[in-house]
């Protein structure tokens, strides 16, 4: 057991989140009961939507109206009922419940700071104020808990995490998708056979055409850290301004299923939303917002994720394995914890290129390869010689 001790508050918080993730269980209070039941009981038969024409019509209308949501759905539903009053088309609410039942996908809802500073998860779950701005977690009012006489506090703001396990179970329930998910296993075996030296047993990759040709991945496979029944995942995060004339930062992260072939894994229908962090500001503690999704993955690893493989007609225990996080330059600081592209040492892990400031008053550094001819001699930290790029490679 490793015991981490640090006096740097940000590092201390990060280590505590790691500890909470390592101990995560599907029985944790943060995960809804419906989610625990869905993950523990995957469907045993292939759902045939053609057996119920009314349900099929309701679902098609629901997904067509997904951008316009409830109002658009109800307008179309009323028109259909006016034409045929005997049609058993579901209400928007019942259709939404049916989608939840069929997919097993139940959102994980957690409280957050109304200024987007942090989320009340992991080591922060019992706090009543934000660690960054000091704003209160709850509004000055209560509400009745549905189905009971109890009351509860009302959070000032909440955010949603979409659990990945039910998505993976739903993918396996389709014979076509279940066969597509064998790609990684087949590709890995092809690489091992094609590039393995029969004399030394070493693998020498001479042609790279996919993620699985990477040395870190192959090393994990050889050492048994990634097995055939595992599901390899990559997460990616980015921010977006939703309104052209209004400042509002919204951050979204997704899951990419690497087991799918390259011509499928990046298509919209196979990209899984992981969570949405609403504005109005950029989150200051991204770990607290990603905690529910990562804890869910860890719990599925620990307890095993049972799926019904429609291609073979059998239950299989699989384990989701996140291998890396991706983002653009500014977003990568959320994963690395480093200073980012505007810092003096923006790449501390690999090339170590030192940045250069434009002037004495400039606060940002730029990773300029060549030293400018008119560099101010007073900028001692920026006056280093040209960088020899071939040596970096």
SS3 164: coil
Percent of the chain with pLDDT over 70: 94
Across the strands, what pairs with 112? 119
Q: Using the CB atoms, write b or e for 321-338: b if 16+ within 10 Å.
A: bbbbbebeeebbbbbeee
Tokens of 95: 């259709």
pLDDT of residue 67: 63
Decide which of 349 and 14 is more confident.
Answer: 14
**DSSP 8-state class, residue 147:** T
Report how far residue 191's alpha carbon sits from residue 207's, in angstroms, rounded to the nearest whole number. 10
Q: Which of 92-106, 149-163, 338-352 has the highest mean pLDDT?
A: 149-163
Q: Do 342 and 336 form a contact (C-beta atoms < 8 A)?
A: no
- Asked whether the bond before 280 is cis by omega within 30 degrees of 0, the reply is yes
Label residue 6 by pLDDT band (50, 70, 90): low
Label residue 1 by pLDDT band (50, 70, 90): very low
Cβ neighbours of 76 (radius 10 Å): 15
Q: Is the pLDDT of residue 46 over 70?
A: no
Mean pLDDT across 190-202: 86
Contacts for 201 with CB less than 8 Å, ≥ 6 apart? none
Check: pTM over 0.75? Answer yes or no.
yes
The chain-wide mean pLDDT, for the chain, equals 88
pLDDT of residue 17: 95
Secondary element (H or E) of residue 250: strand 246-257
pLDDT of residue 292: 97
Mean pLDDT across 363-374: 88
pLDDT of residue 22: 95
Report how far residue 338's alpha carbon sits from residue 357's, in angstroms, rounded to the nearest whole number. 18
Residue pLDDT, tens place only, 159-176: 999 999 999 998 998 899
SS3 212: helix
Instruction: Return the CA Rg of the chain.
Output: 25
Secondary element (H or E) of residue 43: none
Region of poorest pLDDT, from 176-190, 305-319, 345-359 = 345-359
Label residue 377 by pLDDT band (50, 70, 90): confident
Tokens of 40: 């523990």
Please choose, from the candidates 177, 62, 158, the residue with its C-alpha nearest in 3D space to the C-alpha of residue 107: 158
pLDDT of residue 336: 75
Tokens of 179: 């066969």
Percent of the chain with pLDDT over 90: 50
SS3 97: helix
Residue pLDDT, tens place only, 220-279: 999 999 999 999 999 999 888 777 666 667 899 999 999 999 999 999 999 999 999 987
Label residue 100 by pLDDT band (50, 70, 90): confident
Q: Is the pLDDT of residue 347 over 90?
A: no
Residue ranges of domains in the chain: 9-32+107-175+228-336, 44-104, 338-393
Q: Do 286 and 274 form a contact (C-beta atoms < 8 A)?
A: no
State how beta strands 138-144 and 246-257 pair: unpaired
Tokens of 382: 């920026």
Where helices occur in the chain by DSSP H, the ranges are 9-22, 33-40, 53-64, 69-83, 92-103, 165-172, 175-180, 183-195, 215-222, 262-265, 286-303, 329-336, 389-392
Q: Is the pLDDT of residue 2 over 60?
A: no
SS3 351: coil
pLDDT of residue 185: 96
Q: How far is CA 311 from the centre of its chain?
A: 27
| 59 phi and psi angles, rounded to 5 deg | -70, -40
Q: How many residues does the chain have?
A: 393
Report how far residue 153's alpha carbon sits from residue 128's, in angstroms, rounded to the nearest whole number. 11
Report how far residue 210's alpha carbon sits from residue 177's, in angstroms, rounded to the nearest whole number. 20
Residue pLDDT, tens place only, 62-72: 888 766 578 88
Q: Do 315 and 309 form a contact (C-beta atoms < 8 A)?
A: yes
Label residue 7 by pLDDT band (50, 70, 90): low
């Amino acid at each position: 057991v490793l015991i981490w001790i640090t006096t740097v508050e940000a590092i201390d918080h990060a280590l505590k989140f790691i500890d909470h993730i390592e101990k995560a269980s599907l029985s944790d209070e943060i995960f809804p009961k419906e989610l625990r039941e869905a993950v523990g009981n995957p469907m045993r038969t292939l759902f045939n939507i053609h057996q119920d024409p009314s349900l099929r019509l309701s679902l098609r209308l629901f997904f067509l109206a997904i951008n316009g949501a409830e109002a658009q759905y109800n307008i179309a539903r009323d028109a259909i009922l006016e034409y045929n009053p005997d049609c058993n088309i579901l209400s928007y609410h019942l259709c939404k419940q049916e989608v939840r039942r069929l997919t097993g996908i139940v959102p994980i809802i957690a409280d957050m700071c109304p200024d987007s500073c942090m989320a009340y998860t992991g080591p922060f779950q019992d706090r009543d104020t934000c660690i960054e701005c000091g704003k209160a977690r709850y509004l000055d009012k209560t509400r009745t808990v549905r189905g009971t006489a109890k009351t509860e506090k009302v959070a000032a703001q909440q955010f949603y995490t979409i659990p990945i396990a039910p998505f993976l179970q739903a993918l396996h329930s389709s014979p076509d998708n279940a066969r597509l998910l064998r790609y990684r296993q087949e590709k890995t075996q092809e690489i091992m056979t094609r590039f393995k030296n029969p004399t030394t047993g070493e693998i020498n990759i001479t042609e790279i055409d996919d993620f699985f040709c990477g040395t870190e991945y192959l090393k994990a496979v050889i050492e048994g850290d990634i097995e055939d029944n595992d599901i390899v995942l990559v997460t990616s995060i980015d921010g977006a301004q939703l309104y052209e004339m209004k400042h509002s930062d919204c951050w979204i992260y997704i899951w990419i299923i690497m087991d799918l072939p390259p011509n499928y894994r990046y298509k919209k229908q196979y990209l899984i939303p992981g969570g949405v962090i609403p504005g109005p500001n950029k989150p200051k503690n991204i770990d607290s917002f990603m905690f529910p999704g990562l804890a869910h993955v860890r719990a599925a690893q620990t307890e095993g994720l049972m799926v019904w493989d429609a291609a073979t007609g059998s239950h299989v225990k699989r384990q989701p394995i996140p291998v890396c996080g991706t983002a653009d330059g500014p977003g990568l600081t959320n994963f690395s914890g480093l200073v980012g592209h505007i810092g003096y040492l923006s790449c501390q892990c690999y090339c170590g290129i030192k940045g250069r400031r434009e002037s004495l008053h400039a606060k940002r550094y730029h990773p300029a390869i060549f030293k400018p001819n008119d560099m101010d001699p007073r900028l001692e930290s920026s006056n280093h010689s040209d960088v020899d790029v071939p040596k970096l490679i």
